[in-house]
Chains A and B, each alone.
Chain A
Amino acid sequence: MMAVFVVAALVALAGAVGVLRARQPVHSVLALILSFGALAVLYLSLAGEFMAVVQLIIYAGAIMVLFLFVIGLLTARLDPAEKGPEPLRGQVPAAAAAMAVLGLLLAGAGLRAAYAPADPAPAAGFGGVRAFGHELLVTHVFPFELTAFVLMVAVVGVLILVGRRHA
Chain B
Amino acid sequence: MVPISAYVALASVLFILGGAGVLLRRSPLVTLMSIELMWNSANLLLVAFSRQFGSHDGQVFAFLVMVVAAAEVAIGLALVVLVFRRRERVDLDDVHTLSG
What is the CB-to-nearest-CB distance from B62 to chain A, in angstroms, rounded to a whole number? 6
Binding site for A on B (CB under 8 A): 1-21, 23-27, 29-30, 32-34, 36-37, 40, 43-45, 47-54, 56-57, 59-60, 62-64, 66-75, 77-82, 84, 88-94
- Chain A residue nearest to B20 in the complex (CB): A99
Do residues A103 and B16 form an inter-chain contact, with CB atoms below 8 A? yes
Q: Which chain B residues lie closer than 8 Å to A95 at the CB level?
A: 20, 23-24
Over the window 134-146 of chain A, the binary record of Cβ atoms lying under 8 Å from chain B Cβ atoms (1 yes, 0 no) is 0110011001100
Given contacts A25-B27, A87-B91, 17 further A-B contacts (CB under 8 A): A13-B13, A13-B17, A42-B47, A48-B50, A48-B59, A50-B59, A67-B33, A67-B73, A75-B29, A81-B25, A81-B92, A95-B20, A114-B4, A119-B54, A127-B56, A135-B57, A157-B75
Do residues A63 and B73 form an inter-chain contact, with CB atoms below 8 A? yes
Do residues B45 and A110 form an inter-chain contact, with CB atoms below 8 A? yes
- Chain B residue nearest to A105 in the complex (CB): B12
- Chain A residue nearest to B48 in the complex (CB): A46
What is the CB-to-nearest-CB distance from A59 to chain B, in angstroms, rounded to a whole number? 7
Do residues A150 and B29 form an inter-chain contact, with CB atoms below 8 A? no
Do residues A81 and B89 form an inter-chain contact, with CB atoms below 8 A? yes
A73 to B6, CA, bound (A): 40
